[in-house]
Amino acid sequence: MTTLTLPGTLDSLGAIAKYVMEAAQTAGLDKKATYKLRLAVDEIASNIIIHGYEEAHLEGKIDLSADIDESRLTIIIEDTGAKYDPYETVAVEEEQLKKPLDERPIGGLGVYLAIQGVDKYLFERVGNRNRNIFIVNC
């Protein structure tokens, strides 16, 4: 599939979801795997936009690419926003899971659930770019 480049704004989330759904269909993913992948990409993309661009008072773009082979679908999101490492958020979220329900803050589990919903997730900082990699086995 071709790379999709979009503005780093919340208005781009619909186009991001459409791209992921098309890639999942091309890869032959079932409905459950497609839903989990779309949810994961949407959560991370939302956090890139909110934390990496809006809260940092930056403007930029988001690049999406998909690689499909006979055994897996890989979606890559790259951006030039402020560094946002979802693994740092997951560590906090996992700690919150250990607390009784009435002691947990409302919200904040999206990144944890997103990463758990794909077969493999990777984050890396390459130069001034954040790279988020989602892998789902076909």
- Against a cut of 0.85, is the pTM above it? yes
Predicted local distance difference test score (pLDDT) of residue 1: 79
Distances in Å between the alpha carbon of 122 and those of 26, 87, 114? 22, 9, 12
- Domains in the chain: boundaries: 4-137
Predicted local distance difference test score (pLDDT) of residue 93: 62
130 contacts 58 by C-beta, under 8 angstroms: no
* Cα three-residue angle 104-83-89, rounded to 5 degrees: 15
pLDDT 10s digits, 68-113 = 999 999 999 999 999 888 877 766 566 776 777 677 666 667 788 8
- Reported as a single tens digit per residue, the pLDDT across 21-56 is 999 999 999 999 999 999 999 999 999 999 999 999
Class of domain 4-137: alpha beta
